[in-house]
Amino acid sequence: MMQVAQILNSALGGNDISAADAEILFGTQGDQAEAVFDCADKIRKECIGDAVTYVINRNINFTNVCYMGCTFCAFSKRRENDTSELLPISEIVRRAREAYDRGATEVCIQGGLHPDIPGNHYLEIVSALKSEIPDIHIHAFSPFEIWYGAKKSRVSYREYLTQLKARGLGSIPGTAAEILDTEIRKRLTRDKLTTEQWVDIITTAHEVGLHSSSTIMYGHVDGPESWAKHLDILRNIQIRTGMFTELVPLGFVHEDSPLYLENDDVRPGPTALESKLMHAVSRIFLRNHIKNIQVSWTKLGPALAREILNCGANDIGGTLMNESISRAAGSKSGQELTSDELETLIRSVNRTPMRRTTLYKEPKTSVVNDAIPLVKRQIANPLAFLSKDADNVL
Protein backbone atom coordinates (compact mmCIF):
# COMPACT_ATOMS: atom_id res chain seq x y z
CA MET A 1 0.00 0.00 0.00
CA MET A 2 2.88 2.34 0.79
CA GLN A 3 4.30 1.98 -2.75
CA VAL A 4 0.91 2.71 -4.36
CA ALA A 5 0.42 5.72 -2.08
CA GLN A 6 3.87 7.08 -3.02
CA ILE A 7 3.10 6.75 -6.74
CA LEU A 8 -0.26 8.47 -6.38
CA ASN A 9 1.15 11.27 -4.23
CA SER A 10 3.86 11.88 -6.82
CA ALA A 11 1.24 12.08 -9.57
CA LEU A 12 -0.92 14.44 -7.52
CA GLY A 13 2.17 16.60 -7.12
CA GLY A 14 2.28 17.04 -10.90
CA ASN A 15 4.99 14.51 -11.70
CA ASP A 16 5.11 11.95 -14.49
CA ILE A 17 5.02 8.39 -13.19
CA SER A 18 7.08 5.65 -14.83
CA ALA A 19 5.88 2.68 -16.87
CA ALA A 20 6.86 0.45 -13.93
CA ASP A 21 4.68 2.61 -11.66
CA ALA A 22 1.77 2.29 -14.12
CA GLU A 23 2.12 -1.48 -14.10
CA ILE A 24 1.84 -1.48 -10.32
CA LEU A 25 -1.30 0.68 -10.45
CA PHE A 26 -2.87 -1.59 -13.07
CA GLY A 27 -2.52 -4.48 -10.62
CA THR A 28 -4.38 -2.83 -7.74
CA GLN A 29 -7.61 -4.14 -6.23
CA GLY A 30 -10.02 -3.20 -3.46
CA ASP A 31 -9.13 -0.07 -1.49
CA GLN A 32 -5.95 0.45 -3.50
CA ALA A 33 -7.93 0.50 -6.75
CA GLU A 34 -10.38 2.97 -5.22
CA ALA A 35 -7.42 5.19 -4.32
CA VAL A 36 -6.30 5.04 -7.97
CA PHE A 37 -9.79 6.07 -9.15
CA ASP A 38 -9.88 8.91 -6.66
CA CYS A 39 -6.45 10.16 -7.71
CA ALA A 40 -7.41 10.04 -11.40
CA ASP A 41 -10.60 11.95 -10.74
CA LYS A 42 -8.76 14.63 -8.78
CA ILE A 43 -6.27 15.05 -11.62
CA ARG A 44 -9.13 15.21 -14.13
CA LYS A 45 -10.84 17.92 -12.10
CA GLU A 46 -7.61 19.88 -11.71
CA CYS A 47 -6.60 19.65 -15.37
CA ILE A 48 -9.98 19.71 -17.14
CA GLY A 49 -12.70 20.77 -14.72
CA ASP A 50 -16.20 19.31 -14.57
CA ALA A 51 -17.16 19.48 -18.24
CA VAL A 52 -17.69 16.22 -20.12
CA THR A 53 -17.34 16.69 -23.85
CA TYR A 54 -18.90 14.84 -26.78
CA VAL A 55 -19.12 15.24 -30.54
CA ILE A 56 -22.04 14.77 -32.90
CA ASN A 57 -20.64 12.50 -35.57
CA ARG A 58 -21.28 9.57 -37.84
CA ASN A 59 -19.16 6.50 -38.45
CA ILE A 60 -19.09 5.45 -42.09
CA ASN A 61 -17.40 2.08 -42.57
CA PHE A 62 -17.27 2.11 -46.36
CA THR A 63 -16.11 -1.46 -46.91
CA ASN A 64 -15.96 -4.60 -44.80
CA VAL A 65 -13.82 -6.47 -47.32
CA CYS A 66 -10.32 -7.16 -45.98
CA TYR A 67 -7.73 -9.91 -46.36
CA MET A 68 -5.26 -8.89 -43.65
CA GLY A 69 -6.18 -11.61 -41.19
CA CYS A 70 -6.38 -9.76 -37.86
CA THR A 71 -7.41 -12.54 -35.51
CA PHE A 72 -9.59 -10.34 -33.28
CA CYS A 73 -11.65 -8.87 -36.14
CA ALA A 74 -15.24 -9.99 -36.73
CA PHE A 75 -15.94 -7.13 -39.14
CA SER A 76 -13.92 -8.20 -42.20
CA LYS A 77 -15.36 -10.30 -45.03
CA ARG A 78 -14.08 -11.82 -48.25
CA ARG A 79 -15.24 -10.34 -51.55
CA GLU A 80 -17.39 -13.37 -52.32
CA ASN A 81 -19.23 -13.27 -48.98
CA ASP A 82 -22.95 -12.46 -49.25
CA THR A 83 -22.58 -9.66 -46.68
CA SER A 84 -19.52 -8.01 -48.23
CA GLU A 85 -19.90 -4.40 -49.32
CA LEU A 86 -17.99 -1.52 -50.87
CA LEU A 87 -19.97 1.70 -50.69
CA PRO A 88 -19.86 3.93 -53.76
CA ILE A 89 -18.32 7.32 -53.01
CA SER A 90 -21.71 8.88 -53.78
CA GLU A 91 -23.23 6.85 -50.92
CA ILE A 92 -20.47 7.92 -48.52
CA VAL A 93 -21.25 11.53 -49.42
CA ARG A 94 -25.00 10.95 -49.01
CA ARG A 95 -24.51 9.51 -45.52
CA ALA A 96 -22.22 12.38 -44.58
CA ARG A 97 -24.79 14.92 -45.80
CA GLU A 98 -27.49 13.15 -43.80
CA ALA A 99 -25.29 13.34 -40.70
CA TYR A 100 -24.44 17.00 -41.31
CA ASP A 101 -28.14 17.85 -41.58
CA ARG A 102 -28.64 16.20 -38.17
CA GLY A 103 -25.99 18.44 -36.61
CA ALA A 104 -22.82 16.39 -37.13
CA THR A 105 -19.55 18.29 -37.28
CA GLU A 106 -17.53 15.14 -37.99
CA VAL A 107 -17.62 12.03 -40.13
CA CYS A 108 -15.29 9.22 -39.11
CA ILE A 109 -14.44 7.08 -42.13
CA GLN A 110 -12.62 3.76 -41.96
CA GLY A 111 -12.83 0.46 -43.78
CA GLY A 112 -11.14 -2.79 -44.56
CA LEU A 113 -8.25 -3.00 -47.01
CA HIS A 114 -10.23 -3.96 -50.11
CA PRO A 115 -7.96 -5.51 -52.77
CA ASP A 116 -9.81 -3.79 -55.64
CA ILE A 117 -9.58 -0.16 -54.55
CA PRO A 118 -6.87 1.95 -56.18
CA GLY A 119 -4.36 3.97 -54.19
CA ASN A 120 -6.19 7.22 -54.88
CA HIS A 121 -9.51 5.92 -53.53
CA TYR A 122 -9.00 7.56 -50.15
CA LEU A 123 -8.07 10.83 -51.86
CA GLU A 124 -11.22 10.71 -53.96
CA ILE A 125 -13.39 10.13 -50.88
CA VAL A 126 -11.96 13.22 -49.17
CA SER A 127 -12.31 15.35 -52.32
CA ALA A 128 -15.93 14.32 -52.86
CA LEU A 129 -16.87 15.04 -49.24
CA LYS A 130 -15.23 18.45 -49.17
CA SER A 131 -16.81 19.38 -52.49
CA GLU A 132 -20.30 18.57 -51.18
CA ILE A 133 -19.92 19.58 -47.50
CA PRO A 134 -17.02 22.04 -47.08
CA ASP A 135 -17.62 22.53 -43.34
CA ILE A 136 -17.55 18.88 -42.29
CA HIS A 137 -14.47 17.65 -40.45
CA ILE A 138 -13.14 14.47 -42.03
CA HIS A 139 -11.60 12.22 -39.37
CA ALA A 140 -10.53 9.30 -41.49
CA PHE A 141 -8.21 6.45 -42.39
CA SER A 142 -6.29 4.51 -39.78
CA PRO A 143 -2.51 4.17 -40.03
CA PHE A 144 -3.14 0.77 -41.67
CA GLU A 145 -5.19 2.45 -44.41
CA ILE A 146 -2.49 5.11 -44.82
CA TRP A 147 0.06 2.30 -45.24
CA TYR A 148 -2.20 0.65 -47.84
CA GLY A 149 -2.92 3.81 -49.82
CA ALA A 150 0.74 4.81 -49.88
CA LYS A 151 1.80 1.31 -50.92
CA LYS A 152 -0.74 1.17 -53.76
CA SER A 153 0.21 4.68 -54.88
CA ARG A 154 3.94 3.89 -54.62
CA VAL A 155 4.67 7.00 -52.59
CA SER A 156 6.01 7.60 -49.09
CA TYR A 157 3.75 7.93 -46.05
CA ARG A 158 4.70 11.60 -45.90
CA GLU A 159 3.73 12.26 -49.50
CA TYR A 160 0.46 10.37 -49.18
CA LEU A 161 -0.53 12.13 -45.95
CA THR A 162 0.40 15.48 -47.48
CA GLN A 163 -1.87 14.73 -50.44
CA LEU A 164 -4.76 13.76 -48.15
CA LYS A 165 -4.33 16.91 -46.08
CA ALA A 166 -4.30 19.05 -49.24
CA ARG A 167 -7.60 17.44 -50.33
CA GLY A 168 -9.19 18.33 -46.98
CA LEU A 169 -8.49 15.53 -44.50
CA GLY A 170 -8.81 17.04 -41.03
CA SER A 171 -7.34 14.37 -38.74
CA ILE A 172 -6.78 10.61 -38.54
CA PRO A 173 -7.97 8.03 -36.02
CA GLY A 174 -5.17 6.41 -34.06
CA THR A 175 -6.70 2.99 -34.50
CA ALA A 176 -4.86 -0.13 -35.75
CA ALA A 177 -2.66 0.29 -32.66
CA GLU A 178 -4.27 -2.57 -30.69
CA ILE A 179 -1.35 -3.26 -28.31
CA LEU A 180 2.03 -1.75 -29.17
CA ASP A 181 3.85 -4.61 -27.49
CA THR A 182 5.53 -6.76 -30.13
CA GLU A 183 4.94 -10.14 -28.49
CA ILE A 184 1.25 -9.49 -27.79
CA ARG A 185 0.82 -7.93 -31.23
CA LYS A 186 1.96 -11.14 -32.93
CA ARG A 187 -1.05 -12.94 -31.44
CA LEU A 188 -3.49 -10.31 -32.69
CA THR A 189 -2.35 -9.80 -36.27
CA ARG A 190 -0.81 -11.68 -39.13
CA ASP A 191 0.06 -9.15 -41.82
CA LYS A 192 -0.78 -5.95 -39.99
CA LEU A 193 1.52 -3.04 -39.22
CA THR A 194 4.41 -3.59 -36.88
CA THR A 195 4.71 -1.37 -33.83
CA GLU A 196 7.49 0.53 -35.59
CA GLN A 197 5.38 1.13 -38.71
CA TRP A 198 2.41 2.36 -36.66
CA VAL A 199 4.62 4.80 -34.76
CA ASP A 200 6.26 5.98 -38.01
CA ILE A 201 2.93 6.68 -39.73
CA ILE A 202 1.39 8.42 -36.71
CA THR A 203 4.42 10.65 -36.13
CA THR A 204 4.60 11.46 -39.83
CA ALA A 205 0.92 12.44 -39.81
CA HIS A 206 1.63 14.73 -36.88
CA GLU A 207 4.64 16.22 -38.64
CA VAL A 208 2.60 17.16 -41.73
CA GLY A 209 0.04 18.89 -39.50
CA LEU A 210 -2.63 16.22 -38.98
CA HIS A 211 -3.80 15.63 -35.42
CA SER A 212 -4.81 12.12 -34.43
CA SER A 213 -6.48 10.29 -31.61
CA SER A 214 -4.66 7.46 -29.85
CA THR A 215 -6.10 4.10 -28.80
CA ILE A 216 -5.38 0.91 -26.92
CA MET A 217 -7.38 -2.33 -27.31
CA TYR A 218 -7.28 -4.33 -24.08
CA GLY A 219 -8.85 -7.38 -22.46
CA HIS A 220 -7.69 -10.33 -24.62
CA VAL A 221 -4.19 -11.86 -24.24
CA ASP A 222 -2.66 -8.74 -22.73
CA GLY A 223 -2.08 -7.49 -19.19
CA PRO A 224 -0.56 -4.76 -17.00
CA GLU A 225 2.96 -5.04 -18.44
CA SER A 226 1.84 -4.66 -22.05
CA TRP A 227 -0.61 -1.87 -21.13
CA ALA A 228 2.17 0.10 -19.44
CA LYS A 229 4.51 -0.39 -22.42
CA HIS A 230 1.79 0.83 -24.77
CA LEU A 231 1.05 3.97 -22.75
CA ASP A 232 4.76 4.71 -22.54
CA ILE A 233 5.07 4.62 -26.33
CA LEU A 234 2.11 6.97 -26.69
CA ARG A 235 3.52 9.38 -24.12
CA ASN A 236 6.89 9.46 -25.87
CA ILE A 237 5.21 10.25 -29.19
CA GLN A 238 3.20 13.05 -27.56
CA ILE A 239 6.32 14.53 -25.98
CA ARG A 240 7.83 14.63 -29.46
CA THR A 241 4.83 15.91 -31.48
CA GLY A 242 2.08 17.17 -29.15
CA MET A 243 -0.54 16.17 -31.74
CA PHE A 244 -2.63 13.49 -30.02
CA THR A 245 -6.07 14.92 -29.23
CA GLU A 246 -7.12 12.16 -26.84
CA LEU A 247 -6.63 8.60 -25.68
CA VAL A 248 -9.52 6.22 -26.35
CA PRO A 249 -9.20 2.88 -24.51
CA LEU A 250 -11.15 0.25 -26.45
CA GLY A 251 -12.31 -2.77 -24.49
CA PHE A 252 -12.04 -6.00 -26.51
CA VAL A 253 -15.50 -7.14 -27.67
CA HIS A 254 -15.22 -10.91 -27.67
CA GLU A 255 -18.60 -12.40 -28.52
CA ASP A 256 -18.11 -12.92 -32.27
CA SER A 257 -14.35 -12.41 -32.45
CA PRO A 258 -12.35 -15.29 -34.01
CA LEU A 259 -9.52 -14.60 -31.56
CA TYR A 260 -11.83 -15.56 -28.69
CA LEU A 261 -13.86 -18.25 -30.41
CA GLU A 262 -10.84 -20.18 -31.70
CA ASN A 263 -8.50 -19.97 -28.68
CA ASP A 264 -8.84 -21.23 -25.11
CA ASP A 265 -6.44 -18.71 -23.54
CA VAL A 266 -8.16 -15.53 -24.68
CA ARG A 267 -10.16 -13.61 -22.10
CA PRO A 268 -13.78 -12.58 -22.83
CA GLY A 269 -13.00 -8.88 -22.80
CA PRO A 270 -11.92 -6.78 -19.84
CA THR A 271 -13.55 -6.90 -16.44
CA ALA A 272 -15.25 -3.77 -15.15
CA LEU A 273 -12.34 -3.28 -12.75
CA GLU A 274 -9.83 -3.49 -15.60
CA SER A 275 -11.77 -0.94 -17.63
CA LYS A 276 -11.96 1.48 -14.73
CA LEU A 277 -8.24 1.03 -14.03
CA MET A 278 -7.37 1.46 -17.72
CA HIS A 279 -8.97 4.89 -17.84
CA ALA A 280 -7.77 5.93 -14.40
CA VAL A 281 -4.15 4.88 -14.85
CA SER A 282 -4.14 6.46 -18.31
CA ARG A 283 -5.26 9.75 -16.79
CA ILE A 284 -2.53 9.56 -14.15
CA PHE A 285 0.22 8.44 -16.55
CA LEU A 286 -0.64 10.97 -19.26
CA ARG A 287 -1.63 13.89 -17.02
CA ASN A 288 1.02 16.25 -18.37
CA HIS A 289 0.76 15.18 -21.99
CA ILE A 290 -2.58 13.96 -23.38
CA LYS A 291 -5.35 16.16 -22.05
CA ASN A 292 -8.44 14.16 -22.94
CA ILE A 293 -9.33 10.62 -21.85
CA GLN A 294 -12.36 9.30 -23.70
CA VAL A 295 -14.61 6.46 -22.58
CA SER A 296 -16.18 4.44 -25.38
CA TRP A 297 -19.84 3.84 -24.54
CA THR A 298 -20.24 1.60 -27.57
CA LYS A 299 -17.51 -0.78 -26.37
CA LEU A 300 -18.32 -0.77 -22.65
CA GLY A 301 -22.00 0.16 -22.60
CA PRO A 302 -23.55 3.35 -21.20
CA ALA A 303 -23.77 2.07 -17.61
CA LEU A 304 -20.05 1.30 -17.22
CA ALA A 305 -19.12 4.38 -19.25
CA ARG A 306 -21.05 6.43 -16.70
CA GLU A 307 -19.01 4.93 -13.83
CA ILE A 308 -15.76 5.66 -15.66
CA LEU A 309 -16.63 9.36 -15.83
CA ASN A 310 -15.69 9.27 -12.13
CA CYS A 311 -12.39 7.50 -12.85
CA GLY A 312 -10.56 10.20 -14.76
CA ALA A 313 -12.43 10.33 -18.08
CA ASN A 314 -13.60 13.70 -19.39
CA ASP A 315 -15.02 12.77 -22.80
CA ILE A 316 -17.72 10.32 -23.85
CA GLY A 317 -17.02 10.16 -27.56
CA GLY A 318 -19.65 10.67 -30.21
CA THR A 319 -23.24 9.99 -31.11
CA LEU A 320 -21.96 7.71 -33.93
CA MET A 321 -25.43 7.32 -35.61
CA ASN A 322 -24.78 3.82 -36.97
CA GLU A 323 -21.53 2.32 -35.72
CA SER A 324 -20.84 -1.11 -37.20
CA ILE A 325 -17.39 -2.43 -36.22
CA SER A 326 -18.19 -3.02 -32.53
CA ARG A 327 -21.59 -4.38 -33.54
CA ALA A 328 -19.95 -6.91 -35.88
CA ALA A 329 -17.85 -8.19 -32.95
CA GLY A 330 -20.97 -8.76 -30.87
CA SER A 331 -21.41 -5.52 -28.94
CA LYS A 332 -24.94 -5.13 -27.59
CA SER A 333 -24.56 -1.47 -26.58
CA GLY A 334 -26.38 -0.05 -29.58
CA GLN A 335 -25.09 2.05 -32.45
CA GLU A 336 -26.30 5.55 -31.56
CA LEU A 337 -26.95 7.72 -28.55
CA THR A 338 -28.54 11.05 -29.37
CA SER A 339 -27.05 14.29 -28.10
CA ASP A 340 -29.91 14.59 -25.57
CA GLU A 341 -29.20 11.09 -24.28
CA LEU A 342 -25.48 11.74 -23.94
CA GLU A 343 -26.22 14.94 -22.05
CA THR A 344 -28.64 13.09 -19.76
CA LEU A 345 -25.96 10.50 -19.04
CA ILE A 346 -23.40 13.20 -18.28
CA ARG A 347 -25.73 15.18 -15.99
CA SER A 348 -26.55 12.00 -14.05
CA VAL A 349 -23.05 12.16 -12.53
CA ASN A 350 -23.36 15.90 -11.79
CA ARG A 351 -21.09 16.95 -14.62
CA THR A 352 -21.63 19.58 -17.30
CA PRO A 353 -22.18 18.43 -20.91
CA MET A 354 -20.27 20.33 -23.56
CA ARG A 355 -20.54 19.68 -27.29
CA ARG A 356 -17.20 19.86 -29.10
CA THR A 357 -15.56 19.51 -32.48
CA THR A 358 -13.08 16.77 -33.36
CA LEU A 359 -10.20 18.99 -32.23
CA TYR A 360 -11.95 19.96 -28.98
CA LYS A 361 -13.09 23.41 -30.04
CA GLU A 362 -16.55 24.94 -29.70
CA PRO A 363 -18.76 24.11 -32.71
CA LYS A 364 -19.61 27.02 -34.99
CA THR A 365 -23.20 25.87 -35.41
CA SER A 366 -25.81 25.33 -32.71
CA VAL A 367 -28.15 23.44 -35.07
CA VAL A 368 -28.83 19.93 -33.76
CA ASN A 369 -31.50 17.70 -35.25
CA ASP A 370 -30.81 14.22 -33.87
CA ALA A 371 -33.66 13.76 -31.40
CA ILE A 372 -34.96 10.75 -33.33
CA PRO A 373 -32.39 7.95 -33.74
CA LEU A 374 -31.23 7.50 -37.32
CA VAL A 375 -31.50 3.70 -37.25
CA LYS A 376 -34.23 1.62 -35.63
CA ARG A 377 -33.07 0.39 -32.25
CA GLN A 378 -32.92 -3.10 -30.80
CA ILE A 379 -32.75 -1.53 -27.33
CA ALA A 380 -35.65 0.90 -27.02
CA ASN A 381 -34.17 2.89 -24.12
CA PRO A 382 -30.39 2.44 -23.69
CA LEU A 383 -30.48 4.63 -20.56
CA ALA A 384 -33.23 2.71 -18.78
CA PHE A 385 -30.74 1.74 -16.07
CA LEU A 386 -30.70 5.36 -14.87
CA SER A 387 -34.31 5.20 -13.71
CA LYS A 388 -33.44 2.33 -11.37
CA ASP A 389 -31.01 4.52 -9.45
CA ALA A 390 -32.99 6.49 -6.90
CA ASP A 391 -30.09 8.91 -6.48
CA ASN A 392 -30.28 10.14 -10.06
CA VAL A 393 -32.14 13.32 -10.76
CA LEU A 394 -32.65 13.55 -14.52
CATH code of 271's domain: 3.20.20.70
Segments forming the whole domain that contains residue 244? 2-373
Kindly list the distances between the CA atom of residue 254 and the CA atoms of 51, 61, 307, in Å, as whole numbers in the listed order.
Answer: 32, 20, 21
**Confidence (pLDDT) at 190:** 66
What is the Cα–Cα distance from 177 to 214, expressed in whole angstroms?
A: 8
Residue 223 lies in a domain: yes
**Confidence (pLDDT) at 379:** 80
Residue 393 lies in a domain: no
Nearest to 312 by CA among 22, 29, 38, 6: 38
**Confidence (pLDDT) at 337:** 93
pLDDT average per 10 residues of sequence, the chain (394 residues): 91 98 98 98 97 97 77 59 83 96 96 90 98 98 96 97 98 93 78 89 98 94 94 98 98 71 76 97 98 96 97 97 53 73 97 98 88 84 80 43
What is the Cα–Cα distance from 115 to 79, expressed in whole angstroms?
A: 9
Residue 353 lies in a domain: yes
Cβ pair 345, 385 in contact under 8 A:
no
**Confidence (pLDDT) at 208:** 98
- According to DSSP, the residues that pair with 244 across neighbouring strands are 212
**Confidence (pLDDT) at 142:** 95
Residue 384 lies in a domain: no
Residue 233 lies in a domain: yes
Residue 88 lies in a domain: yes
Report DSSP state, residue 268. Answer: S
**Confidence (pLDDT) at 328:** 46
Residue 297 lies in a domain: yes
Residue 214 lies in a domain: yes
Domain count, the chain: 1
Helices then strands, each counted (H, E), the chain: 16, 10
**Confidence (pLDDT) at 257:** 66
Cβ-based neighbour number of residue 371 at 10 Å: 11
